[in-house]
Amino acid sequence: MLLETQKQSDRIGVFAGIGAYLFWGLIAVLFFKQLGGVGALEIVGFRVVGSVVCLLAFLYFTTGFTELIRILRSRQLVACLLLTAILVSCNWLIFIWAVGRGQIVQCSLGYFITPLFQVALGVVVLGERLRVAQVIAVVLACLAVAIQIAILGEVPWIALGLATSFSFYALIRKRLSLQAVPALTVECLLLLPAGIALAVLPQTRGIDHSPLIWIFLAFSGAVTAIPLVLFGIAARRLQLSTIGFLQYLGPTCQFALATLYYGETVGKVQLACFGLIWIALIVFSVDTIYRSNRPKPG
């Protein structure tokens, strides 16, 4: 009976994880692509305001206000979450700007290299030691970016911006060990004054939108909240190695959507760079799965 309950919990976790990454990889791109004519800062403003409404509603129905109040009472936690709020808002801004300008392939590259960037960040910031497979994966990723810069003369700043902002965000949030939804709610509350200003300011300049655009802007907060809730369900039920494997679903969907649906072109050099990244991720994933399945000593 206990085994059956565990299997059911794992099944729910897998479906929730797949749902979260499909949301981030497909629905979020399709959604924000419809807002291509709206300024990225304005969209971020509506996203912040909408997220506050959705997240507070979620906490109300799940009795999560206790954790929210505990965080708000700690000046240290609020100060740390102010920093993560700035980082996540930068990540949102880069992503929305890139999607609106047909740079979804670069977004995909950014989220592909994020796990490897996080590993490198652990070495630089936390002094962690890398295993041989991790060293190989990070070197291949760096080589891929270096080749693109050397041959094309282009710095993939969108990809690097997404990877950098999210990796530092994840690093700080991991060290805080806070529940995902209450912590994001505090981040959005801290961003709320700026969010309201960014959402309202264009209207004072006489900029108007069609009814359909207003509907999309109104639901931008839900696009933030829904996948986060699904990810929270998955994170509580699945092993870290499974979550790590599922996270590649998002950028894979972005890459497929960009090339097959939106017709973004990928040159031979870029394709070779992606090939190196994919090899690096295979090495990284196999090593992670192998290590997680090894019996623990003692």
Q: What is the pLDDT of residues 83-122, one digit of tens each?
A: 999 999 999 999 999 999 999 999 999 998 888 888 888 8
Nearest to 59 by CA among 190, 186, 237: 186
pLDDT at position 95: 95
At residue 188, the 3 state secondary structure works out as helix
DSSP string over 90-112: HHHHHHHHHHHTT-HHHHHHHHH
Q: Is the pLDDT of residue 4 over 60?
A: no
The predicted-structure confidence for 39-71, as pLDDT tens digits, reads as follows: 999 999 999 999 999 999 989 888 779 999 999
Residues 146-155: what's their mean pLDDT? Answer: 82
* pLDDT at residue 145 greater than cutoff 80: yes
Residue 295: pLDDT band by 50, 70, 90 thresholds?
low
* d(C-alpha 34, C-alpha 265), whole Å: 20
pLDDT-based confidence at residue 133 (cuts at 50, 70, 90): confident
Cα dist from 270 to 26, 148, 194, 281, whole Å: 22, 7, 37, 16
Which residue do the tokens 């696009």 mark? Answer: 223
Of 160-169, 267-276, 282-291, the poorest mean pLDDT is in 282-291
Whether residue 193 is predicted with pLDDT greater than 70 in this model: the reply is yes
- Report whether pLDDT(15) > 60: yes
Mean pLDDT over each residue of the chain, to the nearest integer: 87
Res 119: pLDDT: 81
Q: Are 149 and 155 in contact (CB under 8 A)?
A: yes
How much is the pLDDT for 240? Answer: 63
- Which tokens in the block code for residue 297? 């000593």
The pLDDT of 262-279, averaged and rounded, is 89
Residue 221 confidence (pLDDT):
92
Give the residue from 112, 109, 102 showing the smallest Cα distance to 263. Answer: 102
123 in Cβ contact with 222 (< 8 Å): no
The mean per-residue pLDDT over the stretch 259-285 comes to 88
Residue 3 has pLDDT above 60, yes or no: no
Q: pTM for this structure?
A: 0.88
Residue 255 confidence (pLDDT): 93
- Over 70: is that where the pLDDT of 292 sits? no
Residue 298's pLDDT is 47
Percent of the chain clearing pLDDT 90 (strictly above): 46
Domain positions in the chain: 2-293
